[in-house]
Amino acid sequence: MWNTFDFRHIARPLLLCGYLLKLNAVGLSCVVCDDTEWTPMVQDSSIRAGWAGERKGILSPLNIPLILSGNFGELRTDHFHTGLDFKTQGKEGFPVLAASDGVISRIKISPFGYGRALYLNDPKGLTTVYAHLQRFAPAVEQWALDQQYDHERFALDERPTQSFVYQQGDTIGWSGNSGGSGGPHLHFEIRETKTQKPLNPLLWDLPIADNRSPELQGVWLLPVDVGAINGRKRPVKLEREGVVVAEGGFRVAIDALDRLDAANNRCGIYRAEMQLDDEVVFAWELDALDFSVNRDMNAHAYYPVWNATGEQVHRMHRLPGNRLPIYTRQTTSGVISCDSTEKCQRVLTVRVWDVHGNAAQHEWDIVFKSVGPETSHGKTASDDLDRSKTHVLSTADDEIKVTCPAEAFYEDFVFDFAVIDSNSFHIGTPALPASKPLRVALKRGSEQSDSDGGCTEQTAVRFVGEDGEAGAWYHGECQNSMFSFSTRQLGRYEWGVDSIAPVISPHRRHRTQQDSMLRVAAGNELRFNLEDVGVGIDSFTAELDGEWILMRWDPKRERIWYDLGDRRHFTGTKQRLIIQAKDQSNNLSRWEGWVQF
C-alpha cells in the first residue's frame, strides 16, 4: 500500500541537509548550519502550515472561485509552467483584477504564447503577469491600438512611457483565450521585478483549497552500465513497495503529480526528496524558476518517458548539463550502488509534497548482487560522445551531415542518423532531448528534386511522430543541391515541397452573389479565414482604400479580422480591400475586392 502523511505540523525554519532554510520575500535563503539532518519540530496542528500562504499582500486576480487547471512547476513541453492557470468556467470576459497596487510596465500582444498580456510592477519589487486576455482596460486598450497602427503591425511588445497606474482590485482587463491558450482561462504569474524570475504564486495566501495528498504513482529505477533491476537491464517502473534485487548501480526517477480539491486536473508537485538508509541524498523544491534555463526541464524530467507519455516524471539525480536552480540537496552522481564485494542491503525512501504541505512516501528494500563476469562486458563510457565538445558527424557518402555544438545535450550521448528511404531520414532519437539546435545538411537526390532538378526556397522537411502522425514543418536554406535546416526535434523526417500559397477567404456571413463584393451588415467585425497547409504563415497585411488597417490574428482558429471599433472605415459606401499573405517558403497570395460596411 502507498503511505500518505501530512507534514504541515512541521515548524519553520527547517533544518535540512546541513542548511537552515528561511523563507524570504523572494525565495528560500540558505544559511549553513551544523546539523546534517532534517529535524522536524512539532507545533500546534491548528496553526496554518505548509508552504502555501506564508506571504501576504497579493489579491486574487479574479472575483470568481479560484480553480486551477495548472500550477507552478508542472511539466510542460520544453519548460516548467511558470504560473497558475485559473479556470474561467469555460467562458471569456471575466474582470481581471490588479493583484496589487502598481503601474503597467509592459504590454504584449502576440498570436502565440501569452497572447494579450499585461505586466504590473508593484512598489515592493514584484511583477504580476496576466496572460491570454480578451482585452485590456479601456485606456490601455486604446494605447495599444494606437501603437499597432503607428507601427502597422499586429504583434506588440512595448514598455509604455505613459503611466497606467492601478490600485489593488482595479479591473485591468478581461479574461480570454488569446495566444497559445487551449481554452478560456487566466494565466497568472508573480515575478521578482529585478530579475524577472518567476516565483511560485501559491506561496502567497490565495484562496485555493487543497487537502489532497500528492500521488506518487511509481518509481523508475534506471540501471547504469551493465547493471540490472530484478534481472532486467532496461529501466523498470515499480508501482508497489517491496524488495528489489539490483545488480550494479542504478539511478532513480519518480512518477508523481498533485490534484487539488476543486478539480481533478493534473498538477505538479512542489517538493521531492530521496533518502538512502538514514541520509537524504537528493532533494528539489519549486520556489522559483529562471526563464534563461527553463528549457532544462528536459534534463530534470526523465525524458524518454515524459516525451512518449506526458507523465510527470522527475529525475532524482542531476544530469551534467542541467542548470536549473531548484536543487536543495545533491550527493555524488546520483548513482545508487553498493561498494561491498559481498551482498548488501539498503533502504530507498522517496517522499513528495505539494505546496500546501500534503505529502506521500514510498519505500523499498534494495538487495544488491555482485555483477558476474558474464555480464561485465558491453557498452562503456568511451562509446559515448563528449557533450562538452562540438561534433561534426556525417554518413559515409555525405548524404547527411549533422553538426552538434558543444553542450547541445545534457550528458554524453550516442547519436545515430541515416537515410531511411528515398523520401525520409532520421536524425537521432525522440528519446534524446537537445539543449541547443543541431544543424542538419542533406543532399537532395533526384528522387526528391523539384521540377528544375535542384533545391529551391520551397524545399522543406516535415517531422513525423513515432505514431506516424505528421508534425512541424521546417524550411531551410539551399546551396546547390544541399538543403540545410536547424532543429532541436530529433527523430524521423520526410522530404516535402511547400509550393502552395496561403488561402485567404472571406467568412460566409459577408459573402454576396458577387465573389469580389462583401457586405458587413451585422456584428462588429470583418472576418477572413487565413490558412496555410505548409510551413506556416510568415506575414500578412491589409489595406482599405490604400490605408493600412489592423487585422487581428488567431492562428489556432485560422482567422484574421478587422474590428469595426477601430473606425478606419466608412459606412454606406464601397471601399477597396486588399489582403496579402506570405508563408515561410515565400509563397504569396492575395485577395482583392470590395466591402461595404
3-state SS, 192-251, equals ECCCCEEECHHHECCCCCCCCCCEEEEEEEEECCCCEECCECCCEEECCCEEEEEECCEE
> What digits encode the pLDDT tens for the residues 392-449?
999 988 899 999 999 999 999 999 999 999 999 999 999 999 999 999 999 876 555 5
* CB of 116 closer than 8 Å to CB of 98: no
Whether the Cβ atoms of residue 311 and residue 304 lie closer than 8 Å to each other: no
Q: What is the mean pLDDT of the chain?
A: 89
**Chain centre distance of CA 389:** 27
Q: What angle do CA 483, 493, 488 make, to 5 degrees?
A: 80
Partners of 117 in beta bridges = 108
Q: Is 382 helix (H, G, I), strand (E, B) or coil?
A: helix
Over residues 525-532, mean pLDDT: 97
Give residues with Cβ within 8 angstroms of 382, minimum separation 6: none
Of 110, 116, 156, which Cα lies nearest the Cα of 137?
116
Would you list the DSSP string of 106-162? Answer: EEEE-SSTT-EEEEEE-TTSEEEEEESEEEE-HHHHHHHHHHHHHHT-S-EEE--SS
Give yes or no for a cis peptide into 13 (omega within 30° of 0): yes
CA atoms of 548 and 133, how far apart (whole Å): 25
- The residue among 130, 64, 59 whose CA lies nearest residue 91 is 64
At 220 the pLDDT is 97
Instruction: Summarize pLDDT for 70-97 with one digit per residue, the tens.
Output: 999 999 999 999 999 999 999 999 999 9
Q: Which phi and psi angles does 118 have, rounded to 5°?
A: -120, 145
Q: For residue 133, which of 162, 104, 160 has the smallest C-alpha distance? A: 104
d(CA 455, CA 41): 70
- 24 or 52: which carries more pLDDT confidence? 52
What is the tens place of the pLDDT at every residue in 200-258? 999 999 999 999 999 999 999 999 988 999 999 999 999 999 999 999 999 999 999 99
Calculate mean pLDDT across residues 532-543: 95
* Number of other CB atoms surrounding residue 160 within 10 Å: 15
What value does the mean pLDDT take over residues 39-49? 36
Task: Determine what percent of the chain is predicted with pLDDT higher than 90.
Answer: 80
pLDDT at 148 over 60: yes
Whole-Å CA distances, 23 to 8, 46, 113, 195, 220: 15, 21, 31, 18, 32
Cα atoms in the Cβ-side hemisphere of radius 13 Å centred on 472:
10
Report the pLDDT value the prediction gives residue 341, as an integer from 0 to 100.
Answer: 59
pLDDT of residue 30 exceeding 70, the answer is: no
Grid cell locating 335: 548513482
pLDDT in tens, 175-185: 999 999 999 99
Please report the pLDDT score of residue 334 as a whole number. Answer: 86
- Which comes out higher in pLDDT, residue 21 or 239? 239
CA 60/CA 45 separation, integer angstroms:
26
Beta carbons of 498 and 458 less than 8 angstroms apart: yes
Q: How many CA atoms lie within 13 A of 468 on its CB side?
A: 0
pLDDT confidence of residue 369 = 87
291: Cα within 13 Å, side-chain hemisphere? 10
Share of the chain above pLDDT 70, in %: 87
Q: Is the pLDDT of residue 339 over 90?
A: no
